[in-house]
Amino acid sequence: MPADTAVKICGLRKSSDIDAAALAGARYVGFVFFPKSPRHLEIPAAAALSVAAPIGLCKVALTVNADNAFLDTLVDAVPLDMLQLHGSESPERVSEVKARYGLPVMKAVGVAERSDLAQIDLYSGVADQILVDTKKPKGSDLPGGNGLTFDWGLLSRRVWRCPWMLAGGLTPENVGTAIKTTGARQIDLSSGVETSPGVKDPALIRAFIQAAQAA
């Protein structure tokens, strides 16, 4: 991985895990606000984590089809650097959120097959960046964080019109191939550094970032 490639560790719930991520070289940390998720945080807990996070780390709040009332409360209470919209928010809604909160917005796009790539173009130029993730599988309660990969070959030789991150089932074992296949310079993951759903492992975080740097 080139030195300027960024890693986002998502779904952090403990201050010690945030410190481990920062020490290992993560550029972003993600807080999940989705009650069905094992990584869900209440706003006061996220505020405490965010205030204690090392300076320079980009703190990302992940929401799913959140309304303005929730986002108003969230942005007032938690020091944040970016919003991640991980539901079916329209391009108009992405623009509205950007304008209302004055924070960069990352829009997640789920990919399972080639036809899904049109969604990337739809949000390019509207969102500040795109998170290209595995599409929510049928039967899952979670729009993300399922630990499943998609066909990375769909992204090879793609011409990008805005910054983007690759996500979906990345692990210390497969991240090198993922980077080589897609050319990703930003990487996001959650399950691949967990010992059980929602429980991050500092050793796995270090192993992941080392593996990515060796790619």
Binding site for ligand LARABZUK (CB under 6 A): 10-11, 30, 32, 34, 37, 39, 62, 64, 86, 133, 142-147, 167-170, 188-192
Residue of closest CB approach to ligand LARABZUK: 145
Minimum Å distance from CB 116 to ligand LARABZUK? 15
Choosing from 4, 81, 121, 133, which is the catalytic residue? 133
Catalytic-labelled residue, pool 10, 67, 121, 141: 10
Based on the residue annotation, tell me whether 10 is a catalytic residue of this protein: yes
Q: CB within 8 A of 162, min separation 6: which ones?
A: 123, 124, 125, 127, 128, 129, 130
- Give the Cα separation of 48 and 69 in Å (integer): 21
Residue 139: helix, strand or coil by DSSP? coil
Q: Which CB atom, from 39 or from 107, has the smaller least distance to ligand LARABZUK?
A: 39
Q: Which is nearer to ligand LARABZUK, 159 or 206 (CB)?
A: 206
CB neighbours of 164 closer than 8 A, spacing ≥ 6? 120, 129, 130, 131, 132, 184, 186
How are beta strands 194-196 and 199-200 bridged, if at all? Answer: antiparallel
Choice between 27 and 157, CB closer to ligand LARABZUK: 27
Catalytic residues: 10, 133
